[in-house]
Amino acid sequence: MRLRERIADNLKRLRLARGISQEDLADLAGINRNYVGMIERCESAASADMLEKLADALEIDGEEFLRRRGAA
């Protein structure tokens, strides 16, 4: 799995695990909802600054976006 795909997969998984819509996450992160969807569909690569905003909104460590599924 490519890094962009891993980030997209983890972003969606973490967002859904918290029961947050793309729109709600975008509001919490102060970004456009369409951009959240573009990241989740691998249509756009998120910058480190954007990942930090999303991590803060999800109340997680940004490293969670890079973890392989099933990794501790």
Model pLDDT for residues 45-67, shown as the tens digit of each residue = 999 999 999 999 999 999 999 99
pLDDT band at 69 (very low <50, low <70, confident <90, very high): confident
Q: What is the domain partition of the chain in residue ranges?
A: 3-58
Task: Specify the pLDDT at position 70.
Answer: 60
The three-state DSSP-derived secondary structure of the chain is CCHHHHHHHHHHHHHHHCCCCHHHHHHHHCCCHHHHHHHHCCCCCCCHHHHHHHHHHHCCCHHHHHCCCCCC
* pLDDT score of 26 more than 70: yes
Task: Specify the pLDDT at position 71.
Answer: 53
Q: Domain 3-58 has what CATH class?
A: mainly alpha
